[in-house]
Structure 1
């Protein structure tokens, strides 16, 4: 691996590896009691998460071997395929329903959460669109609206699942990419305003969303009902203090905090590793976002608009999702079903995030060594 094109960004590689490693350790710790009680297999969730991590690394290696030009060429087809899968999820007998939500496609022993796939496909599609219409977005309002039409269909299908959290992440990421791609500030502000009004309307018309918002505002008003999950998460933070109660010593994972190894893993990190551990995770995500945006900026300066937008989109997507998840765990945001990237239990999320980060490394490689970018990675 002496070829300079294989000299990966060391800071990005360290942040990614550290987050993945900490995530595996904490999934094991947070799930061991639940797995033993429900399945009589204490390491059930850890073993599956480790297997998903290995699959994710294999997929990442495959993705990093493919030239960006290939992804750009098939970008529209990828998004159309994603929309088709979103439709399949809603068809009775095909999609799998869990807790009242139809979000999964059964694929043998595993289930594919299509929303995770759509996040990546949307970024690739918008990056291709911005490459093809480079320099035109600031002069035409229609050029900004055009790519939002197909994504609006995907957003509607996500709402029907329902999965408002993924919809907000996707649309927010896309709007940020359009702004970075040249959309005027007044157009960007208008679209943000429209999204804000739609969000408020969606919350108002759905009683369960309004209830979530109310319980978020004052979870202690109903600590054993609608505010139960958030109050238990806050108790976990309170118990953590500076250095935590010790790895594996969490009390909240003992059937107090629901979804401790998935959406609320960060609360267990705060309880077992304390403020130091919780801040370490935030710093690692900060390093990841910083390097993603720096890679995007370098690609943009090199004239590689598609690669730059891929890097910007992945950095914004994973950074935003991490902020939302951490904010929910800390009681700063209403509860949403979004995983903590690279860390929360979940095969679809982990594998697709690994694939996205591989594309980020590919952008960096093609920016640094463009003349060798067409060569396939080899040992």
Structure 2
């Protein structure tokens, strides 16, 4: 029998087979299940008050979760990463087009003073959620093809920095400062892991700093929003209202919380209780240990993703390794920012808590990203299995693989150079579910 987590003996006789990483699946399943429970708890009062049915937001969450899950399963089972690499450029162009469409009247939607949505009739779509994935795929593809230039030349990383910078610029104009900063930091992190010198990356990113500062300080509303978190109690009924209500919720929860469903702050006191500030409701209902449980699940997901990324680079699967790095950084940093906003240590950014906050395009694209991450883990395990089989058979490794001309690791690179895998590791073998053989 072959299963989701390991190969069968029948397949082992024929060649290497990958497996889906059980730790990734455990973390994802835990976050999805926990998110369903908390969306139900935090949204009932809001939906009932809007007279749209008390389970409206839960049903909507489940619909987008199911759609994203179907796509994620298809990606994990059928879509090879080299196919995504070939499409990374066109996908990036499509992302730019969608980010520009939000500024066209009757196509783009203005909500809460920001143009971030495309009107699809039955729902809205945020192109930034697609951008988070396409930027990761593009940077990973660039590193696979040009790692030597990234390591050894000052301008070697200028193209991915430019692509990420243009994406951030379009987001700043919407405005969406949180997502712009998130994409910028993830791009820098991926390039640094790919061997680029941090000094060079900082120098290339400096031109965006004055532009971002000007956009952030151009209106009194934005200035107050960026600074109100420093002392929300100074203006608790206006600029500091949302944060003070979140802090009250966190304080009421103490160690063990007031009990699931027992939150008072979600009863029209705390705005966006089921989306941006769902962690405050978790803290109120489940207490410190409930928040700690959520953080542990994210730590497992992100830590395992980063570990798989490192192992991927070590066994010659640079493409899968860099994709794992990028998606893990994107999910982890977004979760970190969301937690910081809910606890009052960061200004309000409008970023959801991945897999837990209620959402449409955010939950859909998060599922797709995680499907790509699971596929990357599968291909990394496939390469590791091929290496183990080659070792048992006494097959020597091929000469060291180099991406570029020199093949010398740059002093700034935190990742080692790798060896090329045996031919068996490059044979396409799809994941198998169920019976194999008679």
What corresponds to 2:56 in structure 1?
A: 44
What corresponds to 2:321 in structure 1?
A: 308
Q: Distance in 2 between matches of 1:142 and 1:75?
A: 21
Whose helix fraction is larger, Structure 1's or Structure 2's?
1
Give the aligned CA root-mean-square deviation in angstroms: 1.7
Q: Distance in 2 between matches of 1:282 and 1:373?
A: 38
Q: Distance in 2 between matches of 1:352 and 1:31?
A: 21
1:33 to 37, 45, 48: 45
Q: Distance in 2 between matches of 1:120 and 1:41?
A: 33
What corresponds to 1:208 in structure 2?
A: 221
Alpha-carbon distance, 1:148 to partner: 2.0
What corresponds to 1:57 in structure 2?
A: 69
What corresponds to 1:115 in structure 2?
A: 128
Q: Distance in 2 between matches of 1:375 and 1:369?
A: 9
What corresponds to 2:90 in structure 1?
A: 77
Partner-residue secondary structure (3-state), 1:25? helix
1:256 is aligned to 2:269: yes
1:245 to 241, 252, 258: 258
Residues 37-77 of structure 1: CA distance to partner in whole angstroms, max 9, x if unpaired? 10240000001111111111101011112001100111100
Q: How does 1:352-363 map to 2 (within 5 A)?
A: 352-363=365-376
Query: In 2, are the aligned partners of 1:365 and 1:373 still within 8 Å (CA)?
Result: no
2:378 to 353, 365, 373: 365
Query: In 2, are the aligned partners of 1:269 and 1:278 still within 8 Å (CA)?
Result: yes
TM-score when normalising by structure 1: 0.96
Residues 79-117 of structure 1: CA distance to partner in whole angstroms, max 9, x if unpaired? 000001111111111112212211112224222111000
Residues 290-334 of structure 1: CA distance to partner in whole angstroms, max 9, x if unpaired? 101001001100112221110000011110000000000000100
Partner-residue secondary structure (3-state), 2:119? strand
1:223 is aligned to 2:236: yes
Q: Distance in 1 between matches of 2:164 and 2:198?
A: 21
What corresponds to 2:417 in structure 1?
A: none
1:21 to 13, 33, 40: 33
1:129 is aligned to 2:142: yes
Alpha-carbon distance, 1:191 to partner: 4.6
Aligned residues: 379
What corresponds to 1:374 in structure 2?
A: 428
Q: How does 1:327-342 map to 2 (within 5 A)?
A: 327-342=340-355
Divergent runs of 4+, >4 A = 191-199
Alpha-carbon distance, 1:199 to partner: 4.3
Q: How does 1:84-123 map to 2 (within 5 A)?
A: 84-123=97-136
TM-score when normalising by structure 2: 0.83
What corresponds to 2:308 in structure 1?
A: 295
Query: In 2, are the aligned partners of 1:56 and 1:355 still within 8 Å (CA)?
Result: yes
Residues 341-372 of structure 1: CA distance to partner in whole angstroms, max 9, x if unpaired? 01111111111111111111111111121448
Partner-residue secondary structure (3-state), 1:365? helix
Residues 148-168 of structure 1: CA distance to partner in whole angstroms, max 9, x if unpaired? 223322222112211111111
Residues 254-293 of structure 1: CA distance to partner in whole angstroms, max 9, x if unpaired? 0000000000000000000000101110111111111010
Q: Which runs of 5+ in 2 are unaligned?
A: 8-16, 384-424, 434-438
Query: In 2, are the aligned partners of 1:67 and 1:373 still within 8 Å (CA)?
Result: no
Name the larger-Rg structure. 2
Query: In 2, are the aligned partners of 1:366 and 1:372 still within 8 Å (CA)?
Result: no
Partner-residue secondary structure (3-state), 2:341? helix
**106 and 204 in structure 1: CA distance in 2 versus 1, 3 angstrom threshold:** closer
